[in-house]
């Protein structure tokens, strides 16, 4: 009988226990942060990046991301440089065989060696990132332990899949620097994107409230039913303008919403051609309704209250921290969460998301409209 993968990971890591000492760095220094994950995970890392900037004000901070996450940090003042690399690994999927991955890590690590980084921090939680830092010649390497790559780290924090993704990454940097931080994410908008969104929202709603809905998710198993979003728009149209914001690759879904809402005067469909424009639309909205997806994290980062609809994934880990300012809707089932962690089983039963009614989401949205907004920290 074969042993599960977790057994071999623990066996590999057992001889290499790692505490997390406070690291004193002589400034100026160069810091590499690796976060080759999805948009939402990069947004959830911005609180930790901000604390590292406060602790090392004169250091040059470089953040490595995938090409599709570049815009998340494009205007972030805590980051000196965004290093873009199409690495064939992430928490969600692997691309290519073992030889391709090893070759990619080797080539990228050797190319980074000439940069002279003094500190490497992996905020993704991937052992290949730790190996990358070894090959780059980084003397102090900090990351998540218990994932099979402890031998390559000089210090680390035990991975906790059910800890909040913002707070857990922030805690890693707090322990590293010995400084307290704020679990507040950020997404900085350009003046051009702000003006584009302001003009569009004024044409749509004037000075009235606006509810933006973002149904699309990377994983369809985490998506609330599309028809329920349509019904939600009709339900809310008597007290707010409702806008479905979509990316260029969601054109087919946008056409379905346009057909469903063609007789609803206060329901609109708007295409946002960039992450900055989407962020500006969310920042100008009164409330955002979405699921376990990047738009939820983006709305939190720009300070707009969110109605977050969760099904198979745990809101305590993937949802917003402030449940008073936001509304997090959990399913009325006892079988979840099930779709979480690196080895979560696939579940095609949608009863968790189906248990969340349109009336419940509409009630939460109206509560947030009446509550109003505060300025983003």
Give the model's pLDDT for residue 368. Answer: 95
- In sequence order, the β-bridge partners of residue 327 are 307
Of 8-12, 209-213, 338-342, the least confident? 8-12
Q: What is the mean pLDDT of residues 33-37?
A: 94
Query: Is 50 exceeded by the pLDDT of residue 377?
Result: no
User: Which band of pLDDT confidence, cut at 50, 70 and 90, is reported for residue 357?
Assistant: very high
Angle at CA 291, nearest 5°, toward 206 and 245? 35
**pLDDT single digits (tens) 244-274:** 999 988 999 999 999 999 999 999 999 999 9
Question: Other CB atoms closer than 10 Å to residue 213's CB: what's the count?
Answer: 26
The C-alpha atoms of residue 91 and residue 188 are separated, in whole angstroms, by 25
CB contact set of 154 (below 8 Å; sequence gap of 6+)? 18, 139, 140, 141, 142
The C-alpha atoms of residue 256 and residue 262 are separated, in whole angstroms, by 10
* DSSP letter for each residue of 72-119: GGTT-TT-SEEEE---SB-SS-B-S-HHHHHHHHHHHHHHHHTT--SE
Is 1.20.120.1200 the CATH number for 5-177?
no
Q: Which of 125-129, 179-183, 329-333 has the highest mean pLDDT?
A: 179-183
The C-alpha atoms of residue 31 and residue 300 are separated, in whole angstroms, by 27
- For 191-371, the fitting CATH number among 3.40.630.10, 3.40.50.720, 3.30.450.40, 3.40.50.2000 is 3.40.50.2000
Give the model's pLDDT for residue 101. Answer: 74
Give the model's pLDDT for residue 8. Answer: 41
Across the beta sheet with 30-34, what order do the strands follow?
81-84, 60-65, 30-34, 119-122, 140-145, 155-158
Give the model's pLDDT for residue 9. Answer: 45
Give the model's pLDDT for residue 24. Answer: 57
Give the model's pLDDT for residue 26. Answer: 57
CA atoms 65, 67, 72, 78: torsion sign: positive
The C-alpha atoms of residue 182 and residue 54 are separated, in whole angstroms, by 11
Residue owning tokens 């198993």: 221
Query: Is 60 exceeded by the pLDDT of residue 12?
Result: no
Q: What is the mean pLDDT of residues 332-359?
A: 76
Give the model's pLDDT for residue 91. Answer: 45
Q: What is the mean pLDDT of residues 236-243?
A: 95
Of 181-190, 203-212, 348-357, the least confident? 348-357
Side-chain-side CA neighbours of residue 58 (13 Å): 5
Q: What is the mean pLDDT of residues 153-174?
A: 90
Q: What is the pTM of this model?
A: 0.89
pLDDT > 90 fraction of the chain, expressed in percent and rounded = 63
Q: Phi and psi of 128, rounded to 5°?
A: -70, -25
Give the model's pLDDT for residue 23. Answer: 54
**Cα dihedral 158→160→165→170 (10° resolution):** -30
The C-alpha atoms of residue 143 and residue 169 are separated, in whole angstroms, by 9
Residue 35 has what DSSP assignment? -
Query: Is 80 exceeded by the pLDDT of residue 234?
Result: yes
Kindly provide the b/e burial profile for residues 305-342, where b requires at least 16 CB atoms within 10 angstroms of the residue's own CB: bbbbbbbbbbbebbbbbeeebbbbbbbebeebbbbbee
Q: In the chain, which residues fall in CATH 3.40.50.2000? A: 5-177, 191-371
* Terminal C-alpha separation, the chain: 54
Query: Is 80 exceeded by the pLDDT of residue 177?
Result: yes
Size (the chain), residues? 377
pLDDT > 70 fraction of the chain, expressed in percent and rounded = 86
User: Which band of pLDDT confidence, cut at 50, 70 and 90, is reported for residue 344?
Assistant: low
Q: What is the mean pLDDT of residues 166-184?
A: 93
The C-alpha atoms of residue 318 and residue 340 are separated, in whole angstroms, by 10
Residue 312 has what DSSP assignment? S
Q: What is the mean pLDDT of residues 110-137?
A: 92
Angle at CA 174, nearest 5°, toward 171 and 175? 90
Contacts of 148-153 with C-beta under 8 Å, sequence gap 24+, read 148/8, 148/9, 148/12, 148/13, 149/13, 150/12, 150/13, 150/16, 150/17, 150/18, 151/12, 151/13, 151/15, 151/16, 152/127, 153/16, 153/18
Q: What is the mean pLDDT of residues 224-228?
A: 94
Q: What is the mean pLDDT of residues 197-216?
A: 94
Give the model's pLDDT for residue 19. Answer: 57
Give the model's pLDDT for residue 282. Answer: 97
- In sequence order, the β-bridge partners of residue 157 are 144
């Amino acid at each position: 009988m074969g042993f599960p993968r977790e057994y071999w990971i623990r066996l590999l890591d057992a001889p290499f226990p790692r505490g997390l000492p406070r690291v004193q760095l002589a400034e100026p220094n160069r810091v590499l942060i690796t976060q080759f994950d999805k948009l939402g995970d990069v947004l959830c890392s911005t609180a930790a990046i901000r604390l590292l900037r406060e602790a090392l004000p004169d250091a040059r901070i470089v953040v490595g991301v995938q090409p599709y996450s570049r815009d998340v940090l494009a205007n972030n003042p805590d980051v000196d440089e965004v290093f873009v690399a199409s690495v064939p690994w992430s928490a969600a999927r692997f691309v290519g065989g073992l030889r391709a991955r090893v070759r990619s890590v080797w080539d990228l690590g050797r190319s980074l060696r000439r940069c002279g980084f003094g500190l490497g921090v992996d905020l993704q939680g991937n052992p290949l990132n730790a190996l990358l830092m070894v090959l780059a010649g980084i003397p102090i390497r900090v990351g998540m332990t218990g994932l099979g790559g402890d031998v390559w780290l000089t210090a680390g924090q035990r991975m906790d899949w059910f800890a909040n993704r913002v707070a857990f990454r922030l805690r890693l940097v707090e322990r590293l620097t010995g400084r307290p931080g704020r679990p507040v994410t950020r997404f900085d908008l350009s003046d051009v994107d702000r003006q584009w969104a302001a003009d569009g929202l004024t044409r749509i709603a004037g000075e009235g409230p606006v509810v933006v809905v973002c149904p699309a998710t990377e994983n369809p198993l985490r998506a609330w039913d599309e028809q329920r979003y349509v019904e939600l728009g009709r339900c809310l149209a008597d007290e707010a303008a409702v806008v479905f914001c979509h990316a260029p690759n969601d054109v087919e879904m946008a056409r379905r919403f346009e057909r469903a809402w063609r007789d609803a005067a206060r329901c609109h469909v708007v295409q946002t051609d960039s992450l900055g424009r989407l962020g500006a639309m969310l920042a100008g909205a009164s409330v955002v309704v979405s699921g376990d997806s990047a738009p939820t994290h983006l709305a939190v980062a720009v300070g707009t209250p969110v109605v977050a609809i969760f099904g198979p994934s745990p809101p305590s880990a993937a949802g917003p921290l402030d449940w008073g300012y936001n509304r997090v809707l959990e399913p009325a089932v006892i079988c979840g969460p099930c779709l979480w962690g690196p080895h979560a089983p696939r579940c095609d039963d949608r009863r968790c998301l189906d248990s969340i009614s349109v009336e419940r989401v509409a009630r939460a949205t109206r509560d947030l409209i009446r509550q109003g907004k505060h300025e983003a920290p």
